[in-house]
Amino acid sequence: MSQNRLEQLFQFYEEDPNDPFTIYAIATELRGSDPQKAMDFYEKLLSEHERYVGTYYHAASLYAESGQPEKAEQTYKKGMLISRQEGNMHAFAELQQAYNKFAGLDYEDE
């Protein structure tokens, strides 16, 4: 992660704390170095910008990685619902595939 990029993102956030793209970008930048802080930003998106579809995939997988499978499942399912409502079938397919893998439903031939 580039510290300059993160600093610039926080400057954008200061200028407009309600811009979902900036919040998403900060969460994504923080994910590798500070997963809890990243989750704080993902949760802000989930509560204040629930139609920002890109959040669901990353938030759900971070919940799963941090030992919160119930929250992961809820987040995947809500993301699939909202992506369908938004007509974003690409996001829906990605979420469904990730959810199936998470739930052990991905059947692959060996």
Provide CB contacts within 8 A for 33, sequence distance 6+: 1
pTM of the model: 0.89
Per-domain boundaries in the chain: 3-102
pLDDT tens-digit readout, 46-88? 999 999 999 999 999 999 999 999 999 999 999 999 999 999 9
Query: Amino acid letter at 52?
Result: Y
For residue 108, the model assigns a pLDDT of 62
Higher pLDDT residue, 3 or 74? Answer: 74
Structural contact between residues 76 and 56, judged by C-beta atoms closer than 8 angstroms: yes
For residue 1, the model assigns a pLDDT of 52
- pLDDT above 90 covers what percent of the chain? 91
Fold of 3-102: 1.25.40
Alpha helices in 49-88 (DSSP H): 54-65, 69-85
For residue 3, the model assigns a pLDDT of 75
What kind and span of H or E run contains 45? Answer: helix 35-48
Tracing tokens 């992660």 back to the chain, one arrives at: 1
Task: From 14, 6, 68, 7, select the one nearest 43 (Cα to Cα).
Answer: 68
